[in-house]
């Protein structure tokens, strides 16, 4: 099998790399790459801090963010050293976390979640390029993105329940939104593998392609997303993100307000 080549393309400009995360840009496209291939991109709190920083560091001109991974797996989930008394460098072990007072534990988990929450902000469209395993935290990181393009060898599994834990990295709501409550419960409670073909069938994956075509497919999708005017995509994304929480009539009103803003902008009128 050919060695998987990580996104981005050589034309991309690296901005920084730290703690297993690289941020690079190519005009309106940013690529955030998990680069701990030697550990199958197993995640640590340091990686989560770097992922959160990547969201804060995006240049203003970025409209599409691609989440990619080096090596044969997207992410094998939580670094298992977190389960040992020693933990990982500069991070508490799970035992240390359990010993924190309730407010401090809640704040610690909220800090971890920051790495997973910015991908759906209204001014960008995020695309996860998934190959190989996406387990636990890796599954939830793929779910954090707006869209998922999967190689044919992609496999998802939510293993937290089998470890006596729950998925707590902001992945439960997008999973339910994508596949429905019953399917989401079954996937989480059993921890079973969901292959690429099933992921596409149940709405978890937007597109499945051969492994050698993953990079090209993601690049084509990014180009298609950039074809429409930025403000129209931003307004449409906001409408769709809020649709589940609105009633039918509330959604109609939101559509009218958004369209009024677009019509005035296209006509050159100032907001007001």
d(CA 213, CA 219) in angstroms, rounded, equals 10
Task: Over range 83-101, report the average pLDDT.
Answer: 85
Which pLDDT belongs to residue 59?
96
Which pLDDT belongs to residue 94?
87
User: Is 193 in contact with 138 (CB distance < 8 Å)?
Assistant: no
Specify the range with the lowest mean pLDDT, choosing from 36-50, 80-94, 131-145, 160-174. Answer: 80-94
The gap from C-alpha 98 to its chain's centroid, in whole angstroms, comes to 27
Which pLDDT belongs to residue 272?
58
Task: Over range 180-196, report the average pLDDT.
Answer: 98
CA distances to 65, 141, 208 from 118, in Å = 11, 11, 25
Beta bridge partners of 244: none
Confidence of residue 11 (pLDDT cuts 50, 70, 90): low
Which pLDDT belongs to residue 174?
97
Nearest alpha carbon to residue 152 among 131, 136, 135, 134: 131
Which pLDDT belongs to residue 158?
97
Specify the range with the lowest mean pLDDT, choosing from 1-5, 13-17, 177-181, 261-265. Answer: 1-5
Residue 12 has pLDDT above 80, yes or no: no
Which pLDDT belongs to residue 135?
98
Instruction: Give the side-chain half-sphere CA count within 13 A for 167.
Output: 28
Its pTM stands at 0.91
Which pLDDT belongs to residue 8?
45
Which pLDDT belongs to residue 88?
83
Q: What is the mean pLDDT of the chain?
A: 93
Which pLDDT belongs to residue 238?
96
Beta bridge partners of 30: 25, 65
SS3 content of the chain, % helix, strand, coil (to 5): 50, 20, 35
Task: Over range 154-177, report the average pLDDT.
Answer: 96
Which pLDDT belongs to residue 90?
73
User: Is 243 in contact with 251 (CB distance < 8 Å)?
Assistant: yes
Cα angle 48, 117, 164; round to 5: 65
């Amino acid at each position: 099998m050919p060695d998987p080549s990580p996104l981005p393309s050589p034309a991309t400009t690296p901005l920084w790399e730290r703690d297993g995360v690289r941020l690079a840009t190519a005009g309106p496209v940013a690529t955030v790459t998990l680069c701990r291939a030697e550990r199958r991109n197993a995640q640590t709190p340091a990686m989560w801090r770097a992922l959160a920083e990547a969201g804060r560091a995006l240049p203003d001109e970025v409209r599409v963010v691609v989440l990619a991974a080096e090596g044969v797996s997207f992410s094998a989930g939580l670094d298992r050293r977190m389960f040992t008394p020693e933990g990982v460098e500069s991070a508490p072990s799970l035992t240390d976390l359990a010993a924190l007072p309730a407010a401090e534990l809640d704040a610690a988990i909220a800090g971890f979640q920051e790495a997973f929450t910015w991908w759906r902000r209204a001014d960008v469209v995020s695309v996860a390029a998934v190959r190989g395993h996406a387990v636990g935290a890796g599954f939830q990181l793929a779910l954090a993105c707006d869209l998922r393009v999967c190689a044919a060898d992609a496999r998802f599994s939510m293993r937290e329940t089998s470890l006596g834990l729950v998925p707590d990295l902001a992945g439960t709501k997008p999973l339910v939104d994508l596949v429905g409550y019953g399917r989401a419960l079954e996937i989480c409670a059993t921890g079973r593998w969901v292959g690429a073909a099933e992921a596409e069938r149940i709405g978890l994956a937007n597109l499945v392609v051969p492994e050698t075509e993953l990079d090209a497919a993601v690049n084509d999708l990014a180009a298609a997303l950039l074809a429409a005017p930025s403000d129209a995509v931003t307004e449409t994304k906001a409408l769709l993100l809020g649709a589940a929480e609105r009633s039918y009539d509330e959604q109609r009103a939101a559509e009218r307000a958004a369209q009024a803003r677009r019509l005035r902008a296209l006509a050159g009128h100032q907001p007001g």
